[in-house]
Structures are given as C-alpha cells and as structure tokens.
C-alpha cells in the first residue's frame, strides 16, 4: 500500500496529465458529433454575447438598423413566395380551398462570428430559441446555402458551416437531376466538391448545382454553386467534380434561417419504417 | 505573490483576446492558422509546479475551445503541450535557472535557445491539434503543410511579441 502511494506520488505529474487528457477526449468524443452537441449550448450564450459586442463595434449603427428592417421585409416576402408553399392540389379533399400550404418560413439573422480558414469552420448568428430557431435548420444567404444550425441558446445559435468536415449536404445537378453529396475538403473556401455522381451522368463546366428534395433541412432547388471543373479517372465509377460556391463565406453577413413546418410530420412518418436488423 | 497572480491573469486575458479578436481573423490562407495563445503556457515560469502548469493549460484550452466552438480539441493539445514542456525544460535548463525562478524568455536564455524551444513546443501542439481536428490521417499531406506553415507563423508571432513587449537586450548565446 505504501509502495502504491509512493508510486503514484513519484509519477503524479504523469497521472495528472493522463487524467486531464482523458477528460479532454471525453469532451471531444461526447460532443463533437454535431447532433449530440450540448457542451456548446452552455458556452454558446456567453460566447454569443461576446461576439455580438465585438461585431457591434465593427458596424455602423445606422446602416445596421436600415439593414435589419430591409432584411425583415425580405424574410416576409420570401415566405410569401410561391416556392415556399407546398402544393396541396393533388389532395382528394376539395373542401380545403387553399391550393398552397406554407411549408417553409424564413427567419432573418446577422452573422456575428465567422471563420473560413480553419479545417472545421463555424458561424455564430444573433438569433436563437427566442426567435424560433431550433437545431438542424438550414441557413442560406441571398446567394446560396450557408450551413446547418448546430446549437441554440436563447438569443444565439451556432451554425455548422458548409466549410466543415462534418457537413455533408444532399445536392443534385439541375440539368440531369443526378444526386450527389456536397463536401468541403479544406483549402480554398470558394470551392467545394460533389461526390457520388455516377459516371454515366453527362456533366459539363457551368452546370448549376442545387439542393435536392431528400433533406428535411433545405427546400428543393436552392442554388449552391456551379461546376468549375470535372474529371473522370479511368476505372472510377464516380465523377470528380469541383464546385464554385455561390455564397462568399468570407463576407457573408446577413443570412436567413429556414424553418420547415412539415419537418416533424415527415420525420415521424419515416420513423415508422421498419429498420434493418444489425 | 498576489501581484504576480494578477499580472498572469491580465496576460491570460490579453493573449486570449489577441488570439480570438485579431489572430483568428487573419485570413491569409487556409494553410495558416496560427495559435499564439500557447505562448501563455510557454512563458510560464520554469519553476512552476507541474500540476499547476497542467491545470492552467487545461483552463486555457477550455476558454479557447468555448470561444471557437471546438469541444475539447484545444484542451487536449494544450495539456499535451504543458506535459511535454515539463520534460523539455528539465533537460534544457541549468541549475541556476531553476534557482533564480526565471521565465523561459528570449532575454534570459538567448534567441537561439528561445526560438528552438518555441519551435519544438509549437510543433508538438500544432501537430496534435490539426490531426485531432481532422480525426485521422486521411488528408495527411495537406494537414502536414498546415502544421508546418502554421507553426512557422506562430513562432514568428511569439518571437516578434517578445521583441515588442519585453524591451530587452538580446545576448546571442
């Protein structure tokens, strides 16, 4: 027993190091998965306030107010647009005389913190639970998509930027309708890659890439970018496609968070599907 | 003693603010992500108790993590850095250094010693951090480039910071 205590005392530095590293790895593995992330929920409020103060000092006060009102108007107009309505006219009930039912709602938000040079980039917005934002809502800018809401506090939310290794977005080619997944492999923040597009699909430079209708996060048909370069290696089944993103992540400042009003319905329905036994 | 604590607290806040507000916003290239906050750990006194150094590194990493939305990455890297530093300093300091309670600074130990110390420590920290960030070795060479460039820039910044903030004569020893 005395030997054991002596042993621990002798190597106590190593033991402390070991315990702290274990603690760090527990945090990493528990919280790095963005769906489960809750560590950031605690720090989000504080960090959000902090960044908000920073961003306040960086903006002209008047410009900001004008921007806000314009943005609110924009959000309102966007949610009245025909594309954010769900077509209801296939329904057999003709009693309900509304042909369109609103499916998507847009919430205007300001970027208060952003990065583009890291391997895993995150964005902080100045809207949170109090404004109706929840986890896994899509975020778009006026040009194209930006990312997915990751964590929400009362007045702020953090967004998993498209420029992040954990971010994979279902996309398709507008012309052929071929599906692929959009990822960012580090490097230049202006370009991303489209994976899993089969080799028989004809593609050419300049083709438009839009969001697919598979996800409950983004409505179908939002612009993402256009093909800047593509190649097909011999023996490879999939095209290698580089995409020029429409959103300029280094200057993005006003964004919209998309609320899918039918999301719960769709997910609840999909949960009733029988799952494979593992 | 109290005065010393307050100066360290102020240094800590200063270096974190510098990291978050200035350095994180320098967008030179995606291969250059300098992390100068580690200079807080690097410049702790030689004689500091090991468990103090490790806990301070933990706190430092946790604050940076909270402000840059990365759970645990900076904690793991800073704690490793503090641990390696303890062993490095055991070999790289003389008995007089430990008796006079110096900080590992350029003025006390000379520019060559200091740059080599910073470079080794930063390399350890950045290598661990960047590989942890991508979770494996799938983008090995681009990550290696990130590590090398970021390390060089971090070391440069720390050395320039030393020259700016500590007006001292450098003995080329």
pLDDT in tens, A115-171: 888 888 889 888 888 888 888 889 988 888 999 998 888 888 889 899 888 888 889
Query: What local confidence, expressed as pLDDT, does residue A12 receive?
Result: 83
Query: What local confidence, expressed as pLDDT, does residue A42 receive?
Result: 58
Instruction: Provide the pairing of β-strand A122-125 with A104-114.
Output: antiparallel
Query: What local confidence, expressed as pLDDT, does residue A95 receive?
Result: 46
Residues within 8 A of A (CB atoms), B 99-128 only: none
B35 contacts B153 by C-beta, under 8 angstroms: no
Nearest-by-CA chain B residue for A12: B51
B21 interfaces chain A, CB cutoff of 8 Å: yes
A77 interfaces chain B, CB cutoff of 8 Å: no
Is B132–A12 a contact, with Cβ atoms under 8 angstroms apart? no
Does residue A220 or residue B76 have the better pLDDT?
B76
Average of per-residue pLDDT across A254-269? 84
**Range of weakest confidence among A40-44, A89-93, A157-161, B149-153:** A89-93
User: Percent of chain B at pLDDT above 70?
Assistant: 91
Q: How far is A19 from chain B, CA to nearest CA, in Å? A: 10
Buried-state track B82-96, b at ≥16 Cβ within 10 A, e below 16 = bbbbbebbeebbeee
C-alpha dihedral sign at B116, B9, A40, A132: negative
Query: What local confidence, expressed as pLDDT, does residue A94 receive?
Result: 44
Q: Dihedral (C-alpha) B59, B64, B70, B73: value to the nearest 10 degrees?
A: -50
pLDDT exceeds 60 at position A36: no
DSSP string covering B41-71? HHTS-TTS-HHHHHHHHHHHHHHHHHHTT-S
A208 interfaces chain B, CB cutoff of 8 Å: no
Residue B43 tokens read as 């410049």
- Phi and psi dihedrals of B4, rounded to 5? -60, -40
Average of per-residue pLDDT across A14-34? 81
Choose the closest CB to B30 out of A25, A32, A189. A189
Residue A276: pLDDT band with limits 50, 70, 90: low
Does residue B28 or residue A94 have the better pLDDT?
B28
Q: How far is B31 from chain A, CA to nearest CA, in Å? A: 7
B88 interfaces chain A, CB cutoff of 8 Å: no
Average of per-residue pLDDT across B123-140? 83
Average of per-residue pLDDT across A87-116? 68
pLDDT exceeds 80 at position B166: no
pLDDT exceeds 50 at position B172: no
**Range of weakest confidence among B19-28, B35-44, B68-77:** B19-28
pLDDT exceeds 70 at position B13: yes
- Phi and psi dihedrals of A226, rounded to 5? -130, 155
Q: A109 forms bridges with which residues in the sheet?
A: A255
Query: What local confidence, expressed as pLDDT, does residue B151 receive?
Result: 94
Which residues, including other chains, have CB under 8 Å from residue B82's CB and lie 6 or more apart?
Answer: A17, B41, B53, B54, B56, B57
pLDDT exceeds 70 at position A40: no
pLDDT exceeds 60 at position A189: yes
Residue A216 zone, left/alpha/beta (φ > 0; ψ -120 to 50; rest)? alpha
Q: Dihedral (C-alpha) B110, B116, B118, B120: value to the nearest 10 degrees?
A: -160
ipTM: 0.77
Residues within 8 A of B (CB atoms), A 106-135 only: 115-120, 122, 124
Q: A183 forms bridges with which residues in the sheet?
A: A193
Residue B132 tokens read as 């942890």
Helix/strand/coil for A275: coil
pLDDT exceeds 80 at position A31: no
Residue B125: pLDDT band with limits 50, 70, 90: very high
Which residues, including other chains, have CB under 8 Å from residue A83's CB and lie 6 or more apart?
Answer: A219, A221
Residue A251 tokens read as 């200057």
pLDDT exceeds 80 at position B25: no
Residue B97 tokens read as 């250094």
- Mean pLDDT of the residues in chain A: 80
Question: What is the distance between the alpha carbons of residues B120 and B122, in angstroms, rounded to a whole number?
Answer: 6
pLDDT exceeds 70 at position A89: no
Half-sphere exposure (CA, 13 Å, Cβ side) for A32? 18
Query: What local confidence, expressed as pLDDT, does residue B85 receive?
Result: 92
Residue A93: pLDDT band with limits 50, 70, 90: very low
Nearest-by-CA chain A residue for B75: A24
Residues within 8 A of B (CB atoms), A 172-191 only: 185-189
B135 interfaces chain A, CB cutoff of 8 Å: yes
Average of per-residue pLDDT across A202-214? 87
Question: What is the distance between the alpha carbons of residues A87 and A101, in angstroms, rounded to a whole number?
Answer: 7
Query: What local confidence, expressed as pLDDT, does residue A15 receive?
Result: 87
Nearest-by-CA chain B residue for A32: B71
Residue A156 tokens read as 């702020």
pLDDT exceeds 60 at position A112: yes
Residues within 8 A of A (CB atoms), B 22-41 only: 24, 27-30, 32-33
Average of per-residue pLDDT across B162-170? 68
Does residue A72 or residue A229 have the better pLDDT?
A229
Give me the total of CB pairs closer than 8 Å, taking one residue from chain A and one from chain B.
Answer: 105
Question: What is the distance between the alpha carbons of residues B151 and A165, in angstroms, rounded to a whole number?
Answer: 22
**Range of weakest confidence among A29-38, A181-190, A214-223, B69-78:** A29-38
Among A78-92, A100-114, A201-215, B103-117, the range of highest mean pLDDT: A201-215
Choose the closest CB to B71 out of A28, A124, A187. A28
Residue owning tokens 């499916």 = A103
A201 contacts A176 by C-beta, under 8 angstroms: yes
B145 interfaces chain A, CB cutoff of 8 Å: no
Which one of B48, B71, B127, B135 makes the best mutation probe of the A interface by having the most chain A beta carbons within 10 Å?
B71
Does residue B138 or residue A256 have the better pLDDT?
A256
Average of per-residue pLDDT across A206-225? 86
């Amino acid at each position: 027993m005395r030997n054991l205590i002596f042993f621990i005392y002798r190597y106590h530095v190593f033991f402390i190091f070991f315990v702290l590293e274990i603690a760090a790895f527990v945090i990493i593995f528990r919280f790095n998965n963005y769906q489960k992330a809750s560590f950031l929920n605690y720090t989000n409020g504080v960090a959000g306030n902090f960044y908000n103060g920073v961003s306040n000092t960086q903006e002209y006060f008047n410009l900001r107010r004008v921007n806000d009102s314009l943005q609110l108007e924009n959000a309102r107009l966007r949610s009245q647009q025909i594309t954010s309505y769900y077509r209801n006219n296939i329904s057999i009930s003709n009693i309900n005389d509304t042909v369109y039912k609103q499916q998507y709602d847009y919430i205007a938000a300001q970027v208060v913190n952003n990065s583009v040079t890291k391997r895993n980039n995150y964005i902080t917005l100045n809207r949170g639970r109090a404004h109706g934002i929840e986890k896994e809502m899509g975020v778009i800018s006026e040009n194209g998509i930006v990312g997915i809401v990751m964590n929400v506090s009362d007045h702020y939310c953090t967004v998993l930027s498209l420029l992040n290794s954990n971010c994979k977005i279902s996309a398709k080619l507008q012309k052929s309708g071929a599906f692929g997944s959009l990822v960012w492999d580090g490097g230049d923040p202006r370009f991303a890659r489209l994976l899993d597009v089969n080799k028989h699909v004809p593609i050419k430079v300049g083709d438009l890439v839009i969001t697919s209708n598979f996800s409950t996060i983004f409505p179908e048909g939002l612009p993402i970018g256009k093909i800047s370069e593509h190649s097909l290696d011999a023996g490879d089944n999939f095209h290698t496609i580089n995409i020029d993103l429409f959103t300029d992540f280094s200057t993005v400042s006003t964004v919209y968070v998309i609320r899918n009003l039918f999301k719960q319905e769709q997910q609840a329905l999909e949960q009733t599907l029988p799952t494979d036994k593992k | 003693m109290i005065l010393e604590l307050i100066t360290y607290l102020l240094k800590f806040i200063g270096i974190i603010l510098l990291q978050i507000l200035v350095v994180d916003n320098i967008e030179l290239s995606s291969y250059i992500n300098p992390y100068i906050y580690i200079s807080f750990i690097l410049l702790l006194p030689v004689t500091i108790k090991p468990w103090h150094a490790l806990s301070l590194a933990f706190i430092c990493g946790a604050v940076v993590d909270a402000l840059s939305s990365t759970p645990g990455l900076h904690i793991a890297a800073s704690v490793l850095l503090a641990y390696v530093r303890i062993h490095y300093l055991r070999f790289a300091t003389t008995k007089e250094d430990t008796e006079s309670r110096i900080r590992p600074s350029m003025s006390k130990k000379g520019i060559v010693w200091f740059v080599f110390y910073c470079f080794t420590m930063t390399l350890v920290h950045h290598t661990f951090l960047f590989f942890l960030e991508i979770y494996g070795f799938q983008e090995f060479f681009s990550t290696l480039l990130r590590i090398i460039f970021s390390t060089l820039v971090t070391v440069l910044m720390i050395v320039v910071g030393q020259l700016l903030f500590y007006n001292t004569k450098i003995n080329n020893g």
